[in-house]
Chains A and B, each alone.
Chain A
Amino acid sequence: MSYQVNEKGYYGDFGGAFIPEMLYPNVEELRSRYLDIMQEEDFQKEFRQLLKNYVGRPTPLYFAERFSKKYNTKVYLKREDLCHTGAHKVNNTIGQILMAKRLGKNRIIAETGAGQHGVATATVCALMGIECVVYMGEIDIKRQAPNVARMKMLGAKVVPAKSGSRTLKDATNEAIRDWINNPVDTHYIIGSVVGPHPYPDMVARFQSVVSEEVKKQLQEKEGREAPDHVVACVGGGSNAAGLYYHYLDNEKVNIIAVEAAGEGVLTGKSAATSALGREGIIHGSKTLLMQTDDGQITEPYSISAGLDYPGVGPMHANLFRTGRGEFISITDEEAMKAGLDLCKLEGIIPAIETAHALAIFDKRKFEKDEVVVVNLSGRGDKDLNTYIEHFNL
Chain B
Amino acid sequence: MNRIKQKLQENPSKKLLSIYFTAGYPEPEDTVSILLELQNSGVDMVEIGLPFSDPLADGPVIQRSSEAALKSGMTTTRLFNQLENNREAIDIPLLIMGYFNPILQYGVEKFCRKCSEIGIDGLIIPDLPLEEYQLQYKEIFQQYDLLPVFLITPQTSEERIKEIDSASDGFIYMVSTAAVTGGKKGFGEEQKKYFHRVSKMGLKNPLIVGFGIKDRETFQQATAETNGAIIGSAFIKQLNDHGTSGISNFIKTIR
A residues near B (Cβ < 8 Å) are: 8, 16-22, 24-25, 163-164, 169-170, 173, 176-177, 180-184, 278-284, 289, 291, 293-297
Contact = CB atoms under 8 A, between A and B. Distances in A.
B105 A180 contact: no
Contact of A22 (B99, B135, B151): B151
B253 interface: no
A24 B52 CA distance: 21
Nearest to B59: A177
Contact of B129 (A17, A280, A283, A294): A17
B241 interface: no
8 contacts: A16-B132, A18-B128, A18-B132, A21-B126, A180-B180, A293-B105, A294-B102, A295-B104
Contact of A180 (B57, B104, B106): B57
A378 B87 CA distance: 59
Given A24-B160, A296-B52, 18 more contacts: A16-B132, A17-B132, A20-B126, A20-B129, A21-B175, A22-B175, A22-B178, A24-B129, A163-B63, A164-B54, A183-B178, A184-B178, A283-B56, A291-B101, A295-B102, A295-B104, A296-B53, A297-B53
Contacts of A296: 52-53, 70, 102
A161 B36 CA distance: 37
Contacts of A8: 135
Contact of B53 (A21, A164, A180, A182): A164
B156 A25 contact: yes
Given A18-B100, A281-B127, A291-B101, A25 B54 contact: no
B245 interface: no
A293 B126 CA distance: 21
A122 B33 CA distance: 50
A169 B105 contact: no
Contacts of A22: 57, 151, 153, 155, 175, 178
Chain B interface bracket (under 10, 10 to 19, 20 to 34, 35 or more): 35 or more
B37 interface: no
A24 B156 contact: yes
B147 interface: no
Most A-side CB within 10 Å, residue of B56, B75, B77: B56
A182 B160 CA distance: 20
B152 interface: yes
Contact of A297 (B101, B152, B156): B101
Contacts of B131: 17
Interface string B145-176: 00000111101110010000000000000010
Contact of B67 (A164, A173, A279, A289): A164
Nearest to A294: B75
A297 B54 contact: yes
Given A21-B126, A281-B127, A296-B53, A291 B178 contact: no
Contacts of B55: 173
A180 B211 CA distance: 12
A295 B127 contact: no
A19 B178 contact: no
Contacts of B178: 22, 180-184
Contacts of A170: 54
Given A19-B127, A20-B57, A22-B175, A295 B103 contact: yes
B54 A19 contact: no
Most B-side CB within 10 Å, residue of A169, A181, A289: A181
A391 to B, nearest CB: 36
